[in-house]
Structure 1
Amino acid sequence: MEFGRLLGELRESAGLTQRQVAERMSANQTKVSRIENGDGDEGDLASFLGALGTPEASSLAELAQMSWHHLPRPSLRHPDLSSLVQIERGLDTVRNFLNDGEVSALLAGQAQLLEKRLLEAGEFLLSLEHDVVYVGEIGVGKTTAVCRQAGLVLDSATASDLKGMMLDTGGGRTTLCDVRVVSGDRFALTVEPTSDEEAYRLVGEMCRAVFEGSSAEAPTVQVDFKPPEEMERALRNMAGLPRPARARKGVASARDPLRELAATFDTLEAFSAEVAARLSLWRRRKRTIDFEGVDGTAGRHWLRTTFIAINNGRHDDFSIPDQITVTVPFALARGGSISLSVVDTRGVDGSAVRKDIIAHLKNPRAVTLLCSKWGSAPDPSSQALLTHVSDTNADRFLLDRISVVALARSGDAMSMRHDSGEPPTEIADGYEIKLSQVEDALEKIGFKGVEAVAYDASPDDPGTLNGFVLARIAAIRNRQLASALATIAAVDQMIANQAEAAAMAALAAVSEQLNRFADRNRDLVKPLRRPFELLLTNVTRLHARTVWAATTRSGRFWNFDVFQYIGDGTAAEAKARSSEITAGLNAIIESDLGDPELAAAATFLTQIRANIPQWEADFVNAVQHHAVAVYGAPLGKDQFLWDDCESEYGTGRGNYREGVAAKMRRWFDGTDPLLDELERRVSRSWITSVIEPLKNAVGSGILLERQVN
């Protein structure tokens, strides 16, 4: 049907009627109509396009006959169709070149490198799916910005009053979990629930806070056991024990059913068991719910009502959500061909260095918006997150996918001042002043070039923020496109070099030099820090309750994952250990590029240089993975350690966080065999991620005997 519709559009753009095309084909109008409805064979298609006689029709005829062996056939409406055609043809050229039994090892290694780069670029460009991820501290206003940017409003005509958002918005501590919004064919909600074990653990923490807080034998040291406010609200509603309204001055406090229930029990265990039973988790097994109607306005209201009920624990069929996927029957990226998903992450509570946020940042198809209040942009949590990912990741394009959003409220823009002391002349002028300040702040902490935008969800056109997001995605795609075109040029140069003795001599010279470099640098320098130092440092800095909550979950808490920090600490050290070597490799390539006698090898050297960051990133990611794998089971299963760390919370015996860090350090000090195993894996990852790919590319790798089909 897509092809048929395209045929009709081509006919109309040629200024022809179906009758006129039929006459040119010596056919009847009925047959032309069938062809445009997709009911025609290859001969009919060729005859139809020939009858149109336009350049566009000739191009379509060529595309229709083209075979796709390496990439899936793209849609004829794909915005990068012409580039994908070039990539497919480039892959054909490389494959035919490799199938020639006369290809030398030197050129075979280069061809394999180019083939891999073309495949990766083609696969990236073929997909039009991208994410925009909102990250921000609690109460910053990011969910409202999400709703405005994505059109998640009840009525666009009145959306500027911010009262008709389709997601649950408020002054902070509203959303329970990550919310992913996708386009589909209907309004629907899909809930990935929190495990029953975690739900009961949260109940236990909530009950402990209430029970010990009201007990006559309450501990003298005041500590925080209860879960976050939004989680407590949902648990209470699920148990039928809602929080009382906040007392107003001069008005007696309302009764608290949870505290009244606690007073009827002698033990915390019995109280917790009763509240847990009231959740009726065995009945809350529903995962998906759809809107059954067809009216769009009614669907928007249904989605808002249902989402709020699930998010607040007031829907009898759903448990505590761990992630909610919202499906809406309209595009989230207006004015473009991109299939956009929008992710509203759970509000940052203390630290943005969370496993879920780091995963979003590493996604090469995602644009992440770090949202800050106007006065603090970029706020401390955003700055700390930027520093962390810069230290622990080798993806040189990661920071290009991150932007800062200064969220304004009424009067913020006009409160700004120029350096002269003069006020802005208009809101746009105030935005420019603010963005200049944000850029200065980013530059001071080493992040010059990170994009920023100012946005007020109330009066500003949501198209402004939507356009900013699409521009960032376009920049990501254009970089891939430029890489693909450069690789195609390198393929052509490689084939031309095969027949030139001087060019082959230049390639042999640089390949031999790079091969010697690889042999000299098979061994990494010794690490300066042990892999767990980053973890122990952060144990002493995070909120005590956050650390305690992690110890009760054997190190895996949503807001503090011990193993994430072990992996990231190892990754940071791996990046430091590899950076001097990769800098040396880049220096050699730069020197060779400046040598006129090696000019014939310039394209090859440029491709090697382009691959170095990818090899290094692969190494760092592999090391992060291995660190978690090595320490995951031994540390996660040491219940004695976790019980020992948990037991000190609230006792008043010294600094709790320092005590936990000391106990964990003793544990790590006693596990040298694990450290040795990790170092063996690090060394092997260096060889497989960097040294072997380099040697393969220059034609002397041990993996070069790959069967070419």
Structure 2
Amino acid sequence: MTKQTESATHGSMLARLRADLSVTQAALAKEAGLDQSRVSRIEKGEITSQAEVEKVLDALASLGSPHARSYKDFANREWAHLPPPTFFNPQRACLEIAEEALGNIEAFLADEERPWPLRRQIERHKDTLIRGATYLQRMNHNIAFIGPIGVGKSTGLSFLFDLLVPPTLASKPIDRPVLETGAGGTTICEVHIKRGPEFGISLLPLPEADLRELVSDFCAARWAVLKSELKETADTPNVSREHDRAIRNMSGLTRRRSMKDGKIEYFDPLTDLVAASASEDEFRTRIFEMMNLTERTQRDLWYDSATRQHPMEWVMKTFREVNNGRLPDVSLPANIDLIIPEFGRAFGEIEISVIDTKGIDDVAVREDLDQRLKDPRTAVVFCTRFNDAPGITTRSLLQHMHQTYSEPVNTGKVSILALPRAEEARAMKDDAGEVAMDDAEGYAFKQMQVENELAAEDLAGVPMVFFNVQSDDAAPVREALFGQLNRMRSTVESRLFDLCAAADEVMKNHEAKALTAAMEEVAERLNSFLETHPALPARERHAYTEALTTIQSVRYAATLWAATRRNGEYSGLNVIHNIGVGAAKDARQRSERWFSSLKDYLAVLKGDEGLQLASKTIEQMERSAIATRAAYLEAVQRAGMEVYREPLSQSPVWGQCAGEWGAGPGFTGRVAGNLEKWFEQRADLKDRLEDITSTLWDQLVVAPMRRLVVENAPEVSPTENIIKFPTRAA
């Protein structure tokens, strides 16, 4: 950190401490024995005098600041191995301990006489310490809301985070949300709400290739319906309601309403446009011309007080314009950022972005949602209707996390938000059939019910909160969600403390014969385990089975129709992604017994009184096993996608699948059948994926455990510095 940066940091911190006390600069200057102008310049970062900064801190302490003295100590601390965290980082004390531990490790490794296995073990501790500390140093996190369309997700998060227009600007409270709400299918893409310098909207436009595919789908669907004069049903091919609405607005082809004989009638201008087009290609070309895409280059929109609108009213109206494709210079968005000054400032020290994901209309295991589920900096809130809780979507995604990459559900990563409506909670009954006396009791009844259901599915431990937007206080619910983030950070903090203790134990006692003997015994026993449990069990099921199962469970044939037109890679149904999920599920199932056996084996070692001195080492072996398992399953998922991506995306089978539309009922079954034949014919891909899966097992699971054996084994002479392991059977 440069002197200039340090001065600015100290200055802003002093200004904050003074503001917390509600003390004026003049009063602080008097207490510090300085001119007010000097205090002003110190707070602006213009004065670098350490003596004067300390005078101001002493004055703040005298005036009652609870943080001034500890900040003085913090400011004088040297950080040689980690970048200094912010003073109000909740895990600052842990990071200070990690900094000290890294200093001790550095000094320990500086002695070149340390035996190689011990050096390597300490180096691994160092690498893991730095990764954990880096996670805790960063203060930015996301809270992602996931749920089916129409569940009230956007309304709920708007009330939770005060994304509301003033009451005077809405006819009724439910109309106050800034985010567009309705009966479902209203938000066109993922929306991020974050802090910024002023009120604004920033968007990332849909890539041109994706936009053209989407419009082509729209045109193909409208052409098929209007040319054949078929009655539209749920199985009629079409784009989503949000995209249909936006494309019509962007091309000026919205349906028009009129009154005839006292009845409302709608006229669809697409009818005339189709009739005037000689072919679907001409129809599509005209739509693109009408959308005027070359003029749609605006990416950032900022509030102007000259509009005389309330800033939140401007955000609400402008968001609706962008979301519905009604601005002539704005393209179709891939995601939208709502920028609100001071957003999240009152919610603690963590810098929070709230994410309103695109509602789930069909397939729950989507690639975009998977990214949120895997992101270690994102807490996920599964939204559900009160009466349906936990809901099919929540169950599907929790099972997906559990079965695909063994993500624990009780670490703060996920929670359930039930959104009751009026009287729903009070309609709950206890075991005796008595209805709840109030909402709180109804919530308690529902929570017990959900907890029992999830426990029966091996998903116990998921926290649950309730929020009726019309009657409940948002503050405790919001605090519960922030507690979710704190729990995620505390989990990492706990691991960091354990790691520091483990490294310290090894370094302090590296010459103790009893410790050495215990570690050598642990190494020998772990080696015995690896000798008897080296191989990955046989394949349980093919990776592509997951994709076929997903296709057969698709709710709307239109979703599958869109996927067949994109060679299987559609945002609503990505067949390649589902193959990767299938590969990871199979790998997890095959490795379950191995990891379970290892866990039990290490538990026996920890319970052995003769190995108590090496308990920290055994604990780190447990953590290493958890990390290697996660890395292995992630790698297998990527491998499954990459093995099949090019052969499948370039296969003519997709043309055959798309051609199945219009051949009568059973479209989904015919597509699944065509793909199953293709998969079965490509035995080379199955074998290739199996080879990669086995190789990854050796590289990412067995090899790291063998390294742990080497690190803790007795030191041997240079010519014998090898521990032999049985070769893997062919």
TM-score by length of 1: 0.91
The one-letter amino acid paired with 2:460 is K
2: CA distance, partners of 1:250 / 1:586: 74
Deviation at 1:298, TM superposition (A): 2.4
SS at structure 1 position matched to 2:465: strand
> What amino acid does structure 1 have at the position aligned with 2:432?
S
Match of 1:268 in 2: 280
Distance (Å, rounded) in 2 between the aligned partners of 1:248 and 1:512: 89
**Who is 1:41 aligned against?**
49
- In the alignment, does 2:503 pair up with 1:496? no
Q: Could you tell me which amino acid in structure 2 is paired with residue 566 of structure 1?
A: I
Q: Which residue of 2 aligns with 1:67?
A: 78
> Structure 2 matches for 1:4-23, cutoff 5 A?
4-7=11-14, 18-22=29-33
Distance 1:478 1:270 in 2: 60
**Could you tell me which residue of structure 2 aligns to residue 356 of structure 1?**
368
Q: Is 1:350–1:381's contact at 8 Å kept on the other side of the alignment? A: no
Distance 2:241 2:421 in 1: 25
What is the alpha-carbon distance in structure 2 between the residues aligned to residue 184 and residue 34 of structure 1? Answer: 25
Give the C-alpha shift of residue 70 in structure 1. Answer: 2.9
Structure 2: distance between partners of 1:221 and 1:205: 17
Change (3 A) 1:276 1:58: closer
Q: Distance in 1 between matches of 2:67 and 2:215?
A: 65
Residue 104 (1) aligns with residue 115 (2): yes
SS of the aligned residue for 2:561 comes to: helix
User: 1:599 matched to which residue of 2?
Assistant: 612
Among 583, 590, 594, which residue is 1:581 paired with? 594
Give the match for residue 365 of structure 1. 377
The worse-fitting range, judged by mean Cα deviation, of 333-342 and 177-186 is 333-342
Q: 2:641 aligns with which of 628, 648, 651?
A: 628
* Residue 360 (structure 1) shift: 0.5
Distance 1:106 1:158, change over 3 A: farther
What amino acid does structure 1 have at the position aligned with 2:270? L
Cα distance change of structure 1 residues 691 and 432 upon mapping to structure 2, 3 Å threshold: same
Deviation at 1:156, TM superposition (A): 6.3
TM-score by length of 2: 0.89
| Distance in 2 separating the partners of 1:213 and 1:386 | 38
Structure 1 residue identity aligned to 2:575: V
d(CA) in 1 for partners of 2:98, 2:260: 68
Change (3 A) 1:515 1:97: farther
Deviations 1:629-648 (CA, angstroms, capped at 9, x unpaired):
2211221122x111111101
Taking the aligned partners of 1:581 and 1:277, their CA distance within structure 2 comes to: 60
- 1:116: Cα distance to partner? 2.7
Find the aligned partners of 2:410 and 2:700 in 1 and give their Cα distance: 19
Say whether residues 1:205 and 2:212 are aligned partners: no
Listed one character per residue, the Cα deviations across residues 23-70 of structure 1 (whole Å, up to 9, x for unaligned) are xxxx87765665455412345556766888989666444433333233
Alignment-derived partner of residue 580 in structure 2:
567
How much identity, in percent, do the aligned residues show?
Answer: 29
Q: What is the deviation of 1:202?
A: 3.0
Hey, what's the Cα distance between the residues in 2 that align with 1:51 and 1:163? 49
The question of 1:428 aligning with 2:445 is answered: no
Partner of 1:440: 452
Contact 1:118–1:487 (Cα < 8 Å) also in 2: yes
- Is 1:661 the counterpart of 2:668? The answer is no
Partner of 1:689: 700
State the 1:7 CA deviation: 4.5
Q: Determine whether 1:185 maps to 2:197.
A: yes
How far is the alpha carbon of 1:450 from its aligned partner?
1.0
How far does the alpha carbon of each residue in 1:490-536 deviate from its partner, in whole angstroms, 9 at most, with x for none?
Answer: 12211222121111111111022223434554431221211111111
1:130 aligned to which of 141, 144, 147: 141
Structure 2 counterparts to residues 277-426 of structure 1, below 5 A? 277-293=289-305, 298-332=310-344, 334-396=346-408, 400-426=412-438
| Mapped contact 1:110–1:698 kept (Cα < 8 A) | no
Conserved 8 A contact 2:255-2:266: no
SS at match of 1:509: helix
Deviates more, 1:326-335 or 1:400-409: 326-335
Q: Distance in 1 between matches of 2:547 and 2:695?
A: 24
Q: 2:9 maps to which residue?
A: 2
Listed as ranges, the gaps of 5+ residues in structure 1 are none
135-144 vs 293-302, which moves further: 293-302
Q: Whole-Å Cα distance in 1 between the matches of residues 35 and 302 of structure 2?
A: 46
SS of the residue corresponding to residue 323 of structure 1 reads: strand
Indicate the SS of the match to 1:588. Answer: helix
The answer as to whether partners of 2:551 and 2:672 remain within 8 angstroms in 1 is yes
The 1:409–1:597 alpha-carbon spacing in structure 2 relative to 1, beyond 3 Å, is same
Looking at structure 1, the residues matched to 232 and 364 of structure 2 have their Cα atoms a distance apart, in angstroms, of: 32
SS at match of 1:130: strand
Q: What residue ranges of structure 2 are gaps of 5+ in the alignment? A: 1-7, 719-730
Q: Is the 8 A contact 2:417 2:465 kept in 1?
A: yes
Conserved? CA contact 1:221–1:651, under 8 Å: no
Letter of the 2:562 counterpart? A
Aligned length: 698
Alignment partner of 2:623 out of 606, 610, 613? 610
Deviation at 1:217, TM superposition (A): 7.5
SS at match of 1:508: helix
Give the C-alpha shift of residue 373 in structure 1. 1.2
Map 1:507-522 onto structure 2 (within 5 A): 507-522=519-534
* Distance change >3 Å, CA 157–CA 450, structure 1 → 2: farther
Aligned AA for 2:202? Answer: T
Q: Say which SS state the counterpart of residue 145 (structure 2) adopts.
A: strand
CA deviations over 1:116-162 (Å, ceiling 9, x no partner): 33222211111111111111111111000111112111126888812
Letter in 2 for 1:302: W
Root-mean-square deviation (Å): 3.1
Is contact 2:144-2:355 (8 Å) kept? yes
Where does residue 523 of structure 1 map in the other structure?
535
- Secondary structure at the counterpart of residue 266 of structure 2: coil
